[in-house]
Every structure is written in C-alpha cells, then in structure tokens.
C-alpha cells in the first residue's frame, strides 16, 4: 500500500512539472534566447545574485534601449563585456521579445537587512534630495512608488538590489556609463557622496 502511495506521489509531481513546463513554454521567447538570460537573471527576472539586476516588471522600452546599447560594445555608452557576448546573434526583434517577457514577470521583494538609519536617510534623499550639497531628489523621475516613468524611459527601481544600484551610481559618477538622457544621472551622481549613494540604494532595495 505504501509503495502504491509513493508511486502516485512521484507520478503526480512529475505530471505537474511536465504539464507546467509545456503550458508555460508557449508563453516564453524561444529557449535559445532565454537561456542566455536565465543563468544570471532567472526566468522570472528576479535575479538572486545582487550585482545582477532584477528585470521583472522593468519597462520593456527601457530594457530594449539598454540591450541595444550593450550590443554596441566599446562603441556604445554602456559597455559590459559579458552582455556583449550574450547578445551575439540576437536581433532587435529578439531583444524586444525578451524585454516584453521580463516586463510581464512579477517582481519579488527580497528579504534584505537594512539599517533603520540608512533607510530613513535614503528615503529623505530619494524624496527631497539634499539642497545643501546640490543633490536632486530621485522621486521626480522614478516616482514616489519607485516605478519610474514608462513614457520617458526612466527605469523601475523599486526593490532593485542595493549592490546593483551602487554599482550603477558609481559608474555614472565616473562616466563609465553614459547612456543617461541629457546626462541627468551623471549630473546627479557627481554631487553624491558614497555614503549618500549607500543610503539611497538601501532605501530603494527595501522601500514600501
């Protein structure tokens, strides 16, 4: 009797996995395209390694713009050797398909430990800036909810990894990344101290 029960349990688990795979597969871009992305970003776009960005619920237009600039390699304004390699053989149509896929995935809030003081300092800078040091508030472009502005191509930041946010702010500040419209992020980041960047990144990663 126990053998039969165990067999039925195994059968149901396997059947459920196979059924889910085939049902879900029709909704995905081709396996070849997605395979390039999922190792770092996972199929749901909720990356588990904090130096790689979460892509879930990111605006598709913004992602397409980044992918096109990555593919330019050293001739572009956002060079990343890993991304250049991953995008070989990928067309603009493929990129749009991938961007659309990740934009429709559900963003997950990761449990992060954020110091209360860091969170509050970050919240103040995000919402009000720092007039004394000329730091512009983030809320104007990225919204009070952190969801950005789809039409203006300002990215969704809510619950993004702290480490990733810090890396990008530092790249903007040192001009290693220069694909921000009208240099807005470079102008803002150059006025920020590393501590202020840490505050803002902490807030974004755990915002309500």
Least confident of 30-34, 114-118, 168-172: 30-34
Give the mean model confidence (pLDDT) for residues 2-15: 46
User: For 173-178, what is the mean pLDDT?
Assistant: 98
Model pTM? 0.85
All structural domains of the chain: 31-108 (1.10.760.10), 116-206 (1.10.760.10)
Percent of the chain with pLDDT over 90: 83
pLDDT(192) > 90: yes
Q: What is the pLDDT of residues 130-171, one digit of tens each?
A: 999 999 999 999 999 999 999 999 999 999 999 999 999 999
Secondary structure (H, E, C), the chain? CHHHHHHHHHHHHHHHHHHHHHHHHCCCCCHHHHHHHHHHHCCCCCCCCCCCCCCCCCCHHHHHHHHHHHHCHHHCCECCHHHHHHCCCCCHHHHHHHHHHHHCCCCCCCCCCCCHHHHHHHHHHHHHCEHHHCECCCHHHHCCCCCCECCCCECCCCCCCHHHHHHHHHHHHCCCECCCHHHHHHHHHCCCCHHHHHHHHHHHHHCC
Q: Report how far residue 164's alpha carbon sits from residue 188's, in angstroms, rounded to the nearest whole number.
A: 17
Q: What average pLDDT does the segment 7-14 reach?
A: 43
Label residue 2 by pLDDT band (50, 70, 90). low
What pLDDT, on the 0 to 100 scale, is given for residue 51? 98
């Amino acid at each position: 009797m126990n053998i039969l029960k165990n067999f039925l349990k195994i059968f149901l688990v396997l059947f459920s996995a196979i059924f889910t795979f085939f049902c879900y597969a029709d909704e995905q871009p081709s396996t070849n395209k997605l395979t390039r992305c999922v190792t770092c970003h996972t199929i749901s776009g909720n990356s588990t390694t904090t130096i790689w960005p979460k892509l879930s619920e990111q605006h598709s237009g913004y992602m397409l713009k980044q992918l096109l600039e990555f593919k330019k390699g050293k001739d572009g304004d956002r060079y990343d050797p890993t991304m250049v390699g991953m995008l070989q053989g990928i067309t603009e149509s493929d990129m749009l398909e991938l961007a659309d896929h990740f934009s429709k995935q559900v963003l997950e809030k990761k449990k992060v430990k954020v110091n209360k003081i860091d969170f509050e300092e970050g919240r103040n800078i995000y919402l009000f800036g720092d007039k004394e040091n000329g730091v512009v508030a983030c809320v104007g472009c990225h919204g009070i909810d952190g969801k950005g502005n789809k039409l203006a191509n300002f990215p969704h930041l809510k619950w993004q990894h702290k480490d990733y946010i810090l890396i990008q702010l530092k790249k903007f500040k040192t001009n290693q990344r220069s694909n921000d419209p009208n240099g807005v992020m470079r102008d803002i980041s150059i006025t920020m101290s590393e501590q202020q960047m840490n505050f803002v990144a902490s807030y974004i990663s755990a915002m309500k």
